[in-house]
Structure 1
Amino acid sequence: MKTLGVLGGMGPAATLAFLARVQALTPASGDEDHVRVVMDMNPQVPNRHSQPEAAGRILGEMAARLRDAGAEVLAMPCNTAHAHAGAIRAAGVPFIDMVAETAKAAAAGGAARIGVLATPGGEALYAEALAAEGVEMVRLSDADRARFMSVVFGVKAGDVGPEQRAAMRELAAALIAAGAQGIIGGCTEVPLLLDAGDVAVPLTDSTEVLARVCVAACLQVDLLPQGEKD
């Protein structure tokens, strides 16, 4: 079993939700069967949008500390911060690319056009990752993107109430109306508000995908997606 190192805190609630998925997805009959995790829960990582250079430097330092603490696989439950994957990989530890893995999982469903609920930085990463899978990305309008960011910052402030949930459903519906045949929750705050039953097309949750890949990598086993186990 490999030790998982988590670059967390972006944001804290999303990181805790990710760890809960790692625990739930691990085939275990006792404590000792679960993945060992070392984590740096650092909500003070500089803003990934307005201070990218500082964010990259801090993320690289976090990765190096996790390596020194015994991490053998690294993961980061924040899509936008994957713009700094190079700084993290510089620590010399295998880093699971959340964006690439999520794009691959979403494309496996056969959709030709996939909508992405993500920050502007996350959208740019997903556009590239989906293009590599031969899939066209459907983007939010400028007005809806501004609304999405407002909802995300509301979640970071602790608001996961019914109005926030309704707003996220409406944003997903807007992508479907624009031609999306699938939706990616490309921000780790999205699954705190949106479930598969809330949308009329397949929903790929980046947090779920990352957790599943982490468990498989650390246990060195194949872990089938939910619904393919029967």
Structure 2
Amino acid sequence: MKRAGIVGGLGPESTVDYYQSFIHKYQERMNSKQTLPELFINSINMYNIFKFISEDRLDDLTDYVAEAVNKLEQIGADFAVVSANTPHIVFNEVREKVNVPMISIVESTYDKADEMGLKNVGLLGTKFTMEHDFFKKPFESGGKKIVVPSEEDQIFMHQRIVDELENGIVNDDTKQSFLKIVNKLIADENLDGLILGCTELPMILKDGDVDLPLLNTTEIHVDKMVEELF
């Protein structure tokens, strides 16, 4: 059985979700509660990631994440994931610096959107994820439209993600503000799907909150991890 490696701490709340979800989905696949997958977690500093991006130090970001992946390989990981969307800004560069196979959250999400037949999707996440094009490129290359909220709304969502969700705080006022932004985006752009492009967003936005499919990038990514075991 292959052993998974997770670069976590990006943030801690979603790392816990990855761990628990990976175990649960593996046991479902095995149809047994009496078995567990083997995995390693290397928890790094989320605030270093934000600092490197804010200061446009993408080479330093690449090196930081690649070092984390290499440590996972050294202790026996057969493949690795980065358990957050934002660091995927440099995913391709990281993949070139490591030997262990890596599973991309962006590529996994594109595959899911394509499987669902979605053509016009909204993207939510940190400001870094929404303003950069690393998530948009595969969708646009595949003939899909991808849209983000206004710059003002991006700043608001980013701050609430960092100040609240990354610290495990779920505030109903924040949820209502997020839903107002989302519903405006749906109405203005006639969306047929919405990407929760931050691994903390499923803490606050749930299926049924809006009248269209939500693509939970954590769940999609973990599904690919479980597939890789077999």
Q: Which runs of 5+ in 2 are unaligned?
A: none
1:78 to 80, 84, 96: 84
1:170 to 143, 167, 180: 180
1:159 to 165, 169, 173: 169
Q: Map of 1:218-229 to 2, 5 A cutoff?
A: 218=229, 220=230
- Stretch deviating more after TM superposition (100-109 or 56-65): 100-109
Alpha-carbon distance in structure 2 between the residues aligned to 1:115 and 1:90: 31
Alpha-carbon distance in structure 2 between the residues aligned to 1:148 and 1:30: 38
2:99 to 89, 92, 96: 92
Q: State how many pairs are aligned.
A: 218
- Stretch deviating more after TM superposition (40-49 or 66-75): 40-49
User: Does 2:210 match 1:199?
Assistant: yes
2:125 to 112, 118, 136: 118
Deviation at 1:35, TM superposition (A): 1.8
**1:193 aligned partner, one-letter code:** I
Q: Share of identical aligned residues, percent?
A: 24
Deviation at 1:54, TM superposition (A): 2.4
User: Does 2:49 match 1:38?
Assistant: no
Any conservation in 2 of the 1:45–1:58 contact (CA below 8 Å)? Answer: no
Any conservation in 1 of the 2:127–2:155 contact (CA below 8 Å)? Answer: no
Any conservation in 2 of the 1:45–1:55 contact (CA below 8 Å)? Answer: no
Q: Output one character per residue of 1:132-186: Cα deviation in whole Å (capped at 9) or x when no partner.
A: 3210011111111111112211212332121222223223222212221110001
User: Does 2:190 match 1:183?
Assistant: no
Q: Secondary structure of 2:70's partner?
A: helix
Any conservation in 2 of the 1:119–1:187 contact (CA below 8 Å)? Answer: yes
Any conservation in 1 of the 2:13–2:167 contact (CA below 8 Å)? Answer: no
What's the C-alpha RMSD, in Å, of the aligned pairs? 1.7
Alpha-carbon distance in structure 1 between the residues aligned to 2:22 and 2:167: 24
Normalization by structure 1: what TM-score? 0.88
**2:151 aligned partner, one-letter code:** D
Alpha-carbon distance in structure 2 between the residues aligned to 1:47 and 1:60: 12
- Alignment CA distance shift 1:142-1:12 (3 Å): same
